[in-house]
Each structure stands twice: as C-alpha cells, then as structure tokens.
Amino acid sequence: MTTTLALAGNPNCGKTTIFNALTGSRQHVGNWAGVTVERRSGFFEGPDGPVEVVDLPGTYSLSAQSEDERIAARFVAHPSVDVIVNVLDASNLERNLYLTAQLLELRRPMVFVLNMMDDAGKKGLKVDLQALERLLGGPVVPTVGNREEGIQALRSAIVRCAELGAAASGRVDYGPDLEQELRHLQREIGRDEDLARTCPPRWLALQLLERAPDALALAQRSHARAAITAQVEASLAFLEPHLGADGATLVAERRYGFNHGLACEVLQRAAWSRRDLTARLDSVLTNRWLGIPIFIGIMIAVYTLTFVLGKVPQDWIAHGFNLLQARAGSQLPPGELSSLLVDGIIPGVGAVVVFVPIIMLLMGCIAFLEDTGYMSRAAFIMDRLMHLMGLHGKSFIPLIMGTGCNVPAVQATRTIEGREDRFITILVAPLMSCSARLQIYIVIAGTFFPPVQAALAILAMHFLGFALAMTVGKLLRLTLFRAGNAPFVMELPPYRLPVLKATLIHMWEKGSVFLTRAGTTILAGATLVWFLSHYPGISNRSWSEELHRQEAAVRTLHLDPAEEVSRLDDLATAHQSRVVNTSLAATFGKAVQPVLSPIFDPDHSRPEAWKDSIALTAGFVAKEIVVSTMAVIHHAQPGDPESGASGLQDALRTRSGLSPLTALAFMVFTLIYTPCLGTVGMILKETRSLLWTGFSVGYGLGLAWLMAWFTVLGGQALGFG
C-alpha cells in the first residue's frame, strides 16, 4: 500500500526544499487532472511501503480565491490523503499559522514542520516545541531544510502518524454564536452521507459561511442542497447583523485570534533587536531611484553570464553534430533514408540541441534569483510601471518567466486573483522573447551583423517584446478590460542563500524538457520538413541519373582534389535546389509568399524568399523548429564551426538572399507572431475560451506583420537597403 501525504505551506516557507530533501531524485512533474497548474510528486521508502509526497502549490489560505488555492483546498480535503504535512516558517510563525488553522479544521492526521529554525534563531526567536505540539495536537518537527537537518526525524514522524491515523486535535474556537451556526450547518450537511464522506462537515460548513465558490458548488450538487442553502442564508442572516461583519470576516477574525494567542504562548523573543540583512539590502535594492537600474543591471549580467559560460559546451555539442553529419554522409550508401538522416534529422535536431547549455544556464540563473528572494523585490519595484501600463504588479513574474518559456508564463498567471488582470497577462505573455526565439536571433543576428551589432540586435528584441507587452496591456485595459486594477499585495521573503542542489534540479528539469522536445516534436518536425522539401521532385529519377552522370564526368577530369570536391558540392547543391523548388514545401511557400513579400522581399529580388514562409509556418508547432527547418531547406552542411550554428549561418549568408534589414524584420516578426502550439494550448486551458485563444493568435499575426513592415520602411527611410 502506498501512503499519500500532502505537503502544504505558504509560499517562501521552504516547502520545495523539504520536498526535495524527502524525495531526493525520485520525483516527477505533471499537471493536476483537469487543470494546468504544475503537480510535483515524489516518493521515499517507508518501513511498510512507498510514501508518495504530493507538493501542493504554495498558498496563504484555503479560501480559494485563485486557482492554486482551489487546487490545494480540493486536494487536502480529498479522502485519498493519508497525512498532511504542514510546513511552517519558524521565523514568521504567526503569519503561517493562518493556513494551519484551516488545515486543522479538516480533522486529518497531521505533521507540523517548523522549518528555517536557523533564521528564527538569527531573529532572536525561541520556540517552545512542546507547547506548540500540545496546542496543535500533532507532532512538531524542527528542520533546517537547506541543510537537510531534521529530515530523518520528519520521515519517522510521518510514518508514525500514518500508522496511528489519529487526527490532529488542535482546534479553533469560533465563539458561541459561530459554533452554534456551525452545528446547524453540520447537521444539514450530514443529511447527505455521500457529501459528508467527500469532505469533513465542519470544514465544509466554515467554507460555506465564507462563501467559498468551490464549497457553494459542492453544496449545489447535493440532494440536500435546498436545506443546506436555506441554513447558510439563515446563519448569515443571524450572524452578520448580530456580530457586525460578513461571514468571511468573522471566520477570519477568529482564526487570526487563535494564531496570535498561540504565537504568544510558544514564542519567546530576545530582548535585543537589530536591523537585519534583509532590511539593509532592501533599503538599496527596492530604492525608488536605484531599484530599476539595479534590476536592469542584474538582467544584463544574467544574460552575459549565460552566453559566456554556455559558449564552451555549445561549441562542443555543435562540433559533435558536425562530425556525426560528416561521418554519416561518408559512410552511408546514397539513398532516401541516408538523405533523411544526413540532410534532415541530424542538422535539424542538432541546430536546436546546441542551445541546451544556454537554456539550462538561463533557467538556473532565474531559479537562483527566485530562491534568493530577489524576484519578489523585482515585482515590487516594477509594480508602479506595470500599473501605468495597465498590468497588475503580479504580472511581472509571469512575464519574466516568459523569457525562458511562454508556456509556464501563461501557467503562472493562476496566482493573479482578478479575472481581468489575469486575462491581460495571459494575452501579453507570448510577446516576451522566449529561449526558443533566442536561438533564431542568435542564428540570424550572427549571420548578418558584426558581433557587437548582433549582440545589440538580440538585446533589442528582448526590450521590444517587453515594451510591446506593456503597450498591448494598456490598450487592452482601455478597451476590452476596463475594470480597475486590483491592489498589489506580495510578500517580500527574507534573503536567503540558494541551495545548490535545488538550483541544479531546476536546471536539469528545464533542460530535460527541452531535450525531450528535441527528441519528439523537433525530430518529427525535421522529418516532416525533409519530406515536404524533397517530394515530389525527388521522385523524378532522371534528375538523379543526370546528377550521377555529371559527377562521373567531373571525376574523369582528374582535377586537384580540392577543386574536385568543390565542383561536386556545386553539383549537389544545384540538384538539391532543383528538387526543393519543385517540392510540396515550395508549392505552399510560394502560395503564402505574397503576404510576406512586403517585409522579407520588398524589392522582389529573392527567388527563394518562399523558404521564409516554410520556416515561420513550422514555428507554429514550436519556435525551435524554425532553426531546424532553415537548416533542412537551406541544406546546411558540416564545416569547421566557430559556433554551433555556423554551418547554417554559411548557408543563410550564401543562399537565402536576406539583407541585414530584412533579416532584422525576420527577427521582429519571429518575436511577435503567433505563439507556439504548446502556448496556444495553455492559453485555451487557462481562458477556457476559443474566442480569446483565437484573439491571441490573430492579434499576434497582425501585430507581427505591421511591426516587421515598419522595420523595413524605417530602415529604408534611414538609407539601410
């Protein structure tokens, strides 16, 4: 039998560190059934079998205002949960106890983890563990998660709690009036035995008095809904005028009173006090005038570090793929399968895999900043600017996540409570320049611009994406979402030194997801692009026979080896060009090209401009495929690379016909046009609306075309032809 435990706690309480310490590397990530918030679960081995640890989204309350709170509330109340592990920040105990008070109402077996005991000691706090254990009615385990102190004791406490199955006995006293109404409600809920088995009647009664949406929906599905609804209305009609507040406020007040009394009972504070490190750092990092320049400097440092350190492994990977392509080309017999491997799969997948080191380093840097507590400060200092631009302060975190990948960026909007604020953030998040687009920028900018200008062009794409997100957000606020901004409330956690293990796990998770996509979506995309770009032209055997005759004629000339290789390469390139220009891909590309011609071929001087359409269309599936598609349709060959993409860059420089100006327009279009298929699917799941999903795709395409066109017009006006 597998024991299931729910790991619940506030954000920034060290819950993820405890999860990693409990499960080690035995963990996996998925989605909660029916929703798109990430579900993380792992296992450790107990004496009676495996114990599954389910890491719930960090939440301050189970009152279900946002989607992550709803998920946590639903899961902890589910009968399948054997033990609840409540992680508490010992240095902020009273605030953390609000969630604890709600969890106690579930009457489940519970273990209380008093984490960050070292931080509490630094603040001069001493916790009476025996008194806390007596008042909460369950085992209390002190831990320092980042050093894995107390983890073995925690495992033992979990196993004992699961074996005994005794519910935590701590309880909030809501006063005689509220307690009386709770008994009335529990009696009505008990009339439906199925409902009473689904969730504890007292917990459901409290949720109903708070008018929690999930609780109200659950009651409406009951066959006793009429009696339950009537009792809720009668109870609130008595309580609210009698006690002078609405039901939710009355319940919250009693919980806060319980928390304050408990904290006073178990906490001892040292007589001395000092201005701690967090306050000193915040006086500088969140300064009204210095905060934004410091943030910009940190972001520049992150990207610089990412590219400098990522360059070495990137070159190794590129060199390995070039050697593989050269060896496969020389060893495999001529034929279609050989062409698929040498001209399609190897260059297509290799052109993408080469960027894995950069992606992993970038994700590692962002994880490091999140774990230090700085990203919350970044959202705080950007709040005023975000509100001016029509966005919520909490929108900043999803937008920053969008620089890694737009899919988790859209997913992260679930922490924004207001529907209007959340929808605006969802619609503008795809404008952020993700790591998949970064590969395209590196290839295009490195091909058509000198190094310094290339770096400036790549940086400009990131700033342009952020500026467009701000502008579009303001327009949406003034037109489609006119409700006022919700107030911005975000906890600023204390600064902490990140745990190297947690950062490395985060890097590996993101990198492995990228490699998985390279082995599935991108591999399939490269194969499909090869097929479309080789048929039906390659079926004409006379062309292949003509190529063989020409190659034989060159060999009979007994030329210098270098000149012979050059002539044979020219013949192969001419043959490939002939095949591709009569393929299905060419037919599609030439049909679409008139729409893109004003921005990518304004002078109508590029006979192969239709290839841009093929690459961009492939980007609908995943932006990474744009690079692999260009490698396939432009016949990128192995060489002696200085960087991972030099073979492709040589092909683009000599065969694409792009100018620096149209190359810049290509980058602008790539930044803005429709999100990848994964992001579109996430938008659909988050908005639950085909209309808003279609709007996201449509406005992105239109805005991309206009911005790329303005880029060309502006460049031509300034004399850049």
Contacts of 174 (CB under 8 A, 6+ apart): 182, 250, 251, 254
The answer, yes or no, to whether residue 42 has pLDDT greater than 80, is yes
Range with the lowest mean pLDDT among 83-87, 149-153, 572-576?
572-576
The answer, yes or no, to whether residue 127 has pLDDT greater than 80, is yes
Q: pLDDT category, 326, cuts 50, 70, 90? A: confident
The answer, yes or no, to whether residue 33 has pLDDT greater than 60, is no
Contact (CB, 8 A) for 40 and 49: no
pLDDT at residue 32, as a whole number: 47
The answer, yes or no, to whether residue 718 has pLDDT greater than 80, is yes
Percent of the chain past pLDDT 70, that is, above it, reads 85
Element holding 46 (H helix, E strand): strand 38-46
- List, in sequence order, the alpha helices (H) in 601-645: 610-618, 624-633
Give the residue from 417, 585, 389 showing the smallest Cα distance to 490: 417
pLDDT at residue 392, as a whole number: 66
Q: What residues does each domain of the chain span?
A: 3-164, 175-269, 536-582
Contact (CB, 8 A) for 266 and 132: yes
CA-CA distances (angstroms) from residue 246 to 251, 252, 678?
Answer: 9, 10, 43
**CATH number of the domain located at residue range(s) 3-164 in this protein:** 3.40.50.300
The answer, yes or no, to whether residue 489 has pLDDT greater than 60, is no
Tens-digit pLDDT profile for residues 530-540? 777 777 654 45
Tens-digit pLDDT profile for residues 101-120? 999 999 899 999 999 898 88
Question: Would strands 49-55 and 83-89 be described as parallel, antiparallel, or unpaired?
Answer: unpaired
Q: pLDDT category, 36, cuts 50, 70, 90? A: very low
CA-CA distances (angstroms) from residue 502 to 12, 153, 498, 547?
Answer: 14, 21, 8, 57
Q: pLDDT category, 274, cuts 50, 70, 90? A: very low
- Residue 64, Ramachandran bin (φ over 0: left; ψ between -120 and 50: alpha; else beta): left
Give the residue from 82, 137, 114 showing the smallest Cα distance to 13: 114
- The CATH number of 175-269, from 1.10.287.1770, 2.70.70.10, 1.25.40.10, 3.80.10.10, is 1.10.287.1770
Range 320-337 average pLDDT: 80
More confident residue, 568 or 181: 181
Model pTM greater than 0.75? no
Helix (H, G, I), strand (E, B) or coil at 602: coil
Range with the lowest mean pLDDT among 244-248, 396-400, 425-429?
396-400
